[in-house]
Amino acid sequence: MNIRDIEKLAALSRIDLQEGEKKSLLAEMGAILNYVNQVKEAAAFAADNMEEKPYSRNIWREDANPHESGIFTDVLLASAPARHGQYIKVKKIL
């Protein structure tokens, strides 16, 4: 990993990094990745088809009985940094 990789990751993460931080992040991330690399030696002993029975599974509710439209709009919009009527205001993308 080098400084350019850090810059690329920051861009992918949508984080504006200060110059000074790039260097320290490079060293820290190197150390952390080196540590977590241990999983590779353990995983060598894992059978491909090994799957422990999950304790829980995702259960979707029926797509029915929606709440009345608009009843939460005002309280949610009150948190938005910029608002235009009943909409959140955003800058144009293109």
Partner 1 sequence: MDLTTLTIKKAHDHLIKGDFSVRELTQAYLENIEKKNKNLNAYLEVFDDCLDQADEADKRLKNEKDNFMLGVPMAFKDNMLIKGRNVSAGSKILEGYKATYDAGVIKKLKEAGTILLGRTNMDEFAMGTSTENSAYGVTKNPHDLSRVPGGSSGGSAAALAANLTLGALGSDTGGSVRQPASFCGVVGFKPSYGRVSRSGLIAMASSLDQISPFAKTVEDAEIIYNIIKGKDPQDSTSLDIKDEIYKSKSKMKIGVPFHFINEGTEQAVLDNFNQSIKKMQDLGHEVIPITIPNIKYSLAVYYIIVPAEVSSNLARFDGVKYGLHKDGQDLLADYLLTRGEGFGKEVRRRIMLGTYVLSSGYYDAYYGKANQVKNLLKADFRKTFEEVNFVMTPTSPTVAFKIGEKASDPLALYLADIFTVPANITGLPSISIPSGFALTDGKKLPLGLQFTAPFLAESSLFEIAKQFEKLNG
Of residues 68, 69, 75, 85, which one binds partner 1 by CB under 8 A? Answer: 75
* Touching partner 1, residues 30-69 (CB under 8 A): 31-33, 35-40, 42-43, 45-46, 50-52, 55-56, 58-61
Say if residues 77 and 83 touch (Cβ distance below 8 Å).
yes
Report the DSSP pairing between strands 83-84 and 87-88. antiparallel
Residue 4 contacts partner 1 per CB under 8 A? no
Q: DSSP assignment of 12-47, as one string? A: HTT----HHHHHHHHHHHHHHHHHHTTHHHHHTTS-
Residue 83 contacts partner 1 per CB under 8 A? no
Please name the residue that has the structure tokens 């929606």: 66
Give the interface with partner 1 as residue ranges (CB under 8 A). Answer: 6, 9-10, 12-18, 21, 25, 28-29, 31-33, 35-40, 42-43, 45-46, 50-52, 55-56, 58-61, 72, 75-76, 78-82, 88, 90-93
